[in-house]
Amino acid sequence: MLAGSVLLLTISTATTAQADWISTLVRYERNLTAANTMAVGGAVSQDQSSRRGFDFSFLTRRVKGKKSLSRIREPLDENDLMFAEQHVGMNMSSELRAVERPAMLELRKYATIASGDNLVKILNKQGLARSDVNAINSAVNGVFDLTKLMPGWPMSFNLDASVEPGAPGRLISLHFEPSETITVSVERTTEGFAAHRDETVYIEELMVASGTIRDNFWKDASAMGLPGSIIANAIETHRCTTDFSKDIQIGDRFTVLFDARLTEEGKIVDSPKIHYVSVDTRGGKREVFRFEQKNSTGYFDRDAKQSCATSFSLMKAPLARPYRMSSPFNPRRKHPITGKVRPHRGVDYAAAKGTKIFAAGDGFVRAKRTHSGGYGKHVIVKHNGIYQTLYAHMSRFPKNLRVGSRVKKGQVIGYVGTTGSSTGNHLHYEIKKYGKQIDPVKSKLPRGQKLAGSARKSFLIVRDNTLNMMDDAKPVVAPKG
C-alpha cells in the first residue's frame, strides 16, 4: 500500500502537460501491475499478496479521449513465461527485470493539410525529432511527389504515447490518401522508416441500369447497387428538364447507361462517364445523350437541343404581342400610386387584358397566389439553382396550372390584368439571379443552344451509336440481401 501512496502523491503534484502525466501514469501502472501480478507463470508466493499496492488502471481506462490506453495490458506469449523453479531465489529487482516488457501504447492523432503546409511542417507540429522528420520526409518522397500535397487532405498519425515526458514524439506510423485509389503510408522499422504506396486497380466496363420506381429514384437506384456519385450525376444530366422529386412517380421506369468502375469483387465504385439517362413517365419519355465537342461536353435530347441548365434560355419579354414597355427597371422610380421613391425591380409591359403570359424558360411553378400585397395574382417560376422569374398583376391563371407543375419555355402560365397595386392592365416581370433582382432588358441572359450544321450531324451519329451500345452493355444486377 505504501508504493501506491507514494505513486499517488507523485502524480497529484505533477505539473506536466496532460499527455505527459498520462504517459507517466501508464508506465507506473505497467510496472506496478507487473510487480503485483507476477506474470511469470507458476504459483504466487504468500508474500506477494501483501504488496498489492493501489490500482490505477481505472484512471487510465477512463481518461477521456484516450480509449487506446486500455491496450497497455498486452498478453504475454507462452514462450515469455517463466516456470516457478526459474524464479526461485530471485529478488524483487530481478523479478521486475524478468517480467518487464515494453508494451507499445499507440495514440492516434489526425490533422488536415492547410494551405502552405508541407510534410516537414506537419510533422514538426507533432513534436517529432528532427532526425525522424527528415527520415520520414525522405521516405515518403520516394513513393509520392510531395509537391502535390493538397489543402484539405486528412492525415492520420499513430504515436508512441509512452515516451518520457518532455522528450520528442515518436512516430509509429502515418497514412494519407491522395485519391480514392491511392494510399500512402509510413511505418517505423528497425532500420528507420519505410514508405509504401498502395494503388487500387479498378475494372472498367460498360453497364446499363434499368429499373422501375417503387419509392423514389435515389432509393431505387441505390438499391440496385449504384453509388451516390453516379445517381447524383444522372440527376444532374436532367437538371433543366426533369425534377426527380416531383416529376417521377411510382411505376415510372428509368435507364442509365454508363462506364462503370468496379472492384475485383464486382462492386460498382464510380463512373467516369455517363452516356445516356432516360425516365419514362406518364407525361412521356425524357432522355438525354452525352455529346462531346471540341471545347465542351453536354447532354442533348433526341432533337439535339441541349438540356443542361447552364445553357437554357430566358425571354426578355414573356408575353404575346402587341405590348409596349411602360416602366423600365429603375432602383429610384417614383411609385405611380404612392408618389414615394420606391425601387422598381422589374419591367412593366402594358398590354390588353387577357393577353397571354408565357413562362420565360423551362422550370417549375414555385408559387401561385391569388392576392399577395401589391403583386396581386402572380406566379413564380424556379428555373434552376440560379434563375427565378415572377409574373404579377394577372387577371387569371390557366385551369391546369398548379404549384409544382413543370412548365416549358413559351407555355401559357397566366393572362394580363390589373390586380394588386396597379393603375392599368400590364405585366410586371422580374428576374432573380442568385436571389437578387436583375434588369430583364439590359442584363445578359442565358441563351439556349440547339446544334446545327456539322455539329448536329455529329450528334445524330453519337445518338444512334449510344442507343446501339445498350445491347453490348452488361446489366446491373441488384446485390443479394
Report the pLDDT value the prediction gives residue 54, as an integer from 0 to 100.
45
Q: Hey, is 327 helix, strand or coil? A: strand
Strands laid side by side in the 297-300 sheet: 297-300, 284-292, 268-281, 253-262, 203-212, 474-475
Q: What are the per-10-residue average pLDDT scores of the chain (481 residues)?
A: 40 44 56 48 42 44 40 42 44 44 71 87 91 94 89 87 83 87 90 91 93 93 90 82 81 96 88 94 89 82 70 82 90 67 89 93 88 86 90 92 85 93 93 92 76 91 96 90 61
DSSP 426-451: EEEEEEEETTEEE-TTTS------B-
* Cα–Cα–Cα angle for 20, 24, 29, rounded to 5 degrees: 150
Element (H, E) at 234: helix 228-237
Report the pLDDT value the prediction gives residue 473, as an integer from 0 to 100.
96
Count other Cβ atoms within 10 Å, centred on residue 141.
Answer: 13
- According to DSSP, the β-strands at 426-433 and 363-369 are unpaired
What 8-state DSSP symbol labels residue 41? Answer: S
* Contact predicate 451/304, CB 8 Å: yes
Q: Which domains does the chain have, with CATH numbers?
A: 2-99 (no CATH), 106-199 (3.10.450.350), 203-300 (3.10.450.350), 324-438 (2.70.70.10)
Report the pLDDT value the prediction gives residue 104, as an integer from 0 to 100.
62
The beta strand positions in 189-245, using DSSP E, are 193-199, 203-212
SS (H, E, C) 62-110: HCCCCHHHHHHCCCCCHHHCCCHHHCCCCCHHHHHHHHCCCCCCEEEEE
Residue with cell 444530366: 237
Q: Hey, is 115 helix, strand or coil? A: coil
* Contact predicate 418/426, CB 8 Å: yes
Report d(CA 281, CA 218) in Å as an integer: 16
Report the pLDDT value the prediction gives residue 309, as an integer from 0 to 100.
39
* Contact predicate 139/114, CB 8 Å: no
Report d(CA 344, CA 416) in Å as an integer: 19
Count other Cβ atoms within 10 Å, centred on residue 405.
Answer: 19
- According to DSSP, the β-strands at 426-433 and 474-475 are unpaired
* Contact predicate 208/215, CB 8 Å: no
Is the peptide bond between 322 and the residue preceding it cis, with omega within 30 degrees of 0?
Answer: yes
Report d(CA 246, CA 95) in Å as an integer: 76
List all residues 6 or more positions away from 47 whose beta carbon is below 8 Å from its beta carbon. none
Q: Hey, is 144 helix, strand or coil? A: coil
* Cα–Cα–Cα angle for 432, 373, 343, rounded to 5 degrees: 50
Instruction: Give the burial class of 480: count Cβ atoms within 10 A of its Cβ; 0-12 exposed, 13-18 middle, 19 or more buried.
Output: exposed
